[in-house]
Chain A
Amino acid sequence: MKKEDLIIKWLDNNLNEEELRAFKKLDASSAFMKIDEAAHRFGAPSFDEARVFEQIQQEKGKAETKTPWTRYVSGIAAAIVVSLGLYFAFFNTTDVTYIAENATRTEFTLPDQSEVILNAGSRIVVDEDDWSSQRELQLNGEAYFKVATGTTFNVITDHGIVSVLGTEFTVNARDNYFEVTCFEGVVQVRTDDTTVRLPAGKNFKIFNGQVFDGSVTISQPSWVNAKTTFKSVPYYEAISELERQYDIEITFDPVLNNTLYTGSFTHENLETALEAITIPLNLSYDMKGKNVVLKSN
């Protein structure tokens, strides 16, 4: 392939592995990648959609010169529209819920062939009938997405909205923890305070009200292959994940809550997993049925 074509394909995030190797061999490829990284810092400030719309509505009001009776009629029309809207909102929903209980994992395909793997203790709600006009779903918990190309794909969580156009990524939205990792393409994360663009290989975490940037070298989340890997996460989150994977309850000293944990555990052997999560912190464990107590040595 010609050098120029190779670069153009790279610019469209469209290289296969072999082509990517060829691209990396180009003299200028490191300069290009540096340019790419720097370009991300020139993003437009976030656009205040709601505020501008309100101003437009005000300006529109000035522009209108309606006689009183048309106002009356449009009032009735608006009332009909609103009641129809409410009717459809409450009586005509076609929401489908996918659930992965503790100690299980669920895989499913969305109407546009996008693939989703739902990790233990997680739930997704999708309006499948509306899917063709709006690719949007609600996530509570953790999931891996392989999105088919098309219009914007939104994952709505309590912590913020993650938007993408055809790419691979994971979202983990738990009570006190939010993490997004991008494996291919670009995703945008929008929370109440900030908007971040994540290129492939980058991740983004929020816990204890703080934002952390990081990067990953893997090409798929490890939990897809029955293993969970952590890098600098609060200990309570590692413990909660272990509880979800084995459907057990763990008690431990809350002093450890915010200790950062880096490591991994398997989903296939509880004892090995417990060792993996206790030994690095110099702890031992005591198991009775579904209850585990961690103690310091």
Chain B
Amino acid sequence: MAKPLFQNVCNEQVFSQLYKKWSKDLYNFIYYRYGEKIGPEDKVQEAFVKLWKHCKETPPEKAKSFLFTIANNLSLNDLKHQKVVLKYQERKPREHTNESPHFLLEEKEYMQKFEKALANLSDGQREAFLLNRVEGKRHKEIAELLGISRKAVEKRIYAALDNLRKEIEGI
């Protein structure tokens, strides 16, 4: 069997490559799961510093699950079971607007309902759904990222969509 080139991650190059490869995914993972309040950037930073401290015992192929587990645990410690509320972005002005004030008001109401419904999803559902819809990740990629089966990802995303519709429409 081929011997891996690097036995552990105590090498600046290996470390910065791991950072390039995983930092954004890790950030999204924490953001969509726990929201802005938890400080997703700080969690990414702490997880990587911890990885460096434990670099001797961590081979490169184990680094990803180390990072995701640490960042998740750090967030869980901080989270005191409050609801996760994600904020939506206000829209930029359009090229031309023929939207009536009535339409804009309706849209605002819709977005507020959406925000509430999103907060009512389970962390796992919200995360899988937004990674798929917003980040454009395929089901297979999300499964690899979260370390769960593709079927489980599909179930979560479908349930999220179904729950969102039911809550928004008040069914």
Contacts and interface: CB of A to CB of B under 8 A. Distances in A.
Interface string B127-145: 0011011111111010000
| Residue of A32, A56, A78 ringed by the most chain B CB atoms within 10 A | A56
A197 B49 contact: no
B126 to A, nearest CB: 9
A35 B163 CA distance: 11
Given A49-B23, A63-B52, A35 B164 contact: yes
A38 B53 contact: no
A67 interface: no
Interface of A: 4, 7-8, 11-13, 28, 31-32, 34-36, 38-45, 47-49, 52-53, 55-56, 59-60, 63, 78, 81, 149, 164-166, 185-188, 197, 211-214, 232
B136 A53 contact: no
Given A44-B28, A47-B27, A188 B92 contact: no
A230 B118 CA distance: 39
B160 to A, nearest CB: 9
Interface stretch (B40-48, B58-66, B75-83): B40-48
Given A43-B134, A211-B92, A49 B161 contact: no
20 contacts: A7-B158, A12-B132, A12-B138, A13-B136, A31-B168, A35-B114, A35-B165, A38-B111, A41-B91, A42-B86, A42-B87, A42-B89, A43-B134, A45-B31, A47-B24, A49-B24, A164-B136, A165-B137, A197-B136, A214-B95
A187 B135 CA distance: 9
Interface in B92-112: 92, 94-95, 110-111
Nearest to A214: B95
B52 A60 contact: yes
Contacts of A4: 158
Contact of A38 (B19, B31, B110): B110
Interface string B110-129: 11001100100000000001
